[in-house]
């Protein structure tokens, strides 16, 4: 039995070592500050703090890549989450959205935060500071529902 466990553990270590050679790209494309959400729809400081803690890593080109994003197979999961989040909306290129689409994205973002679908539970497991409190959720949604014409 011990021999099987040792062989199994050895095989697992070899497999993990080989997995390190499969390295998807962790990207942070360049940002034009004039095209960002913050440039086009300034945020109150409390909303900016909430966004920075809970949304930035997956929905901007300014992702903070933690140490575990360098270790396969966890890195594959993290990179996929970031790429998927950016595909839904990317605040680093907010100017690329038509006004109606931008308003829809903000409304949908509020709904996802209100029903606690965002941030993702897997993200919250590792980033406790990303939890959105009820007052922060209210402030974020009030700002998101505010039309740009009110600025």
Confirm whether 16 is domain-assigned: no
Confirm whether 73 is domain-assigned: yes
Task: Write the DSSP string, 54-87.
Answer: HTHHHHSS-----GGGGSTTHHHHHHHHHHHHHH
Confirm whether 12 is domain-assigned: no
Number of domains in the chain: 1
Question: Is the separation of the CB atoms in 19 and 72 below 8 Å?
Answer: yes
pTM over the 0.85 mark: no
Confirm whether 4 is domain-assigned: no
Q: Please check the confidence at residue 149 and state whether its pLDDT lies above 50.
A: no
Confirm whether 104 is domain-assigned: yes
Segment 97-138, tens digit of pLDDT = 999 999 999 999 999 999 999 999 999 999 999 999 999 999
Confirm whether 19 is domain-assigned: no
Distance CA 78, CA 75 (A): 5
What range does the domain containing 121 cover?
Answer: 24-150
């Amino acid at each position: 039995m011990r021999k099987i466990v040792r062989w199994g553990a050895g095989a697992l270590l070899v497999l993990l070592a080989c997995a390190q050679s499969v390295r998807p790209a962790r990207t942070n494309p360049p940002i034009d500050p004039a095209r960002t959400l913050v440039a086009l729809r300034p945020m109150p400081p409390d909303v900016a703090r909430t966004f920075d803690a809970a949304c930035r890593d997956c929905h901007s080109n300014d992702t903070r890549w933690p140490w575990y994003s360098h270790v396969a197979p966890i890195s594959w999961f993290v990179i996929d989450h970031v790429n998927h989040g950016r595909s839904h909306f990317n605040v680093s290129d907010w100017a690329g959205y038509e006004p109606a689409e931008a308003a829809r994205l903000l409304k949908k973002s509020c709904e996802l935060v209100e029903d606690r679908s965002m941030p993702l539970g897997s993200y919250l497991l590792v980033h406790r500071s990303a939890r959105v409190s009820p007052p922060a959720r209210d402030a974020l949604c009030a700002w998101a529902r505010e039309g740009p014409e009110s600025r």
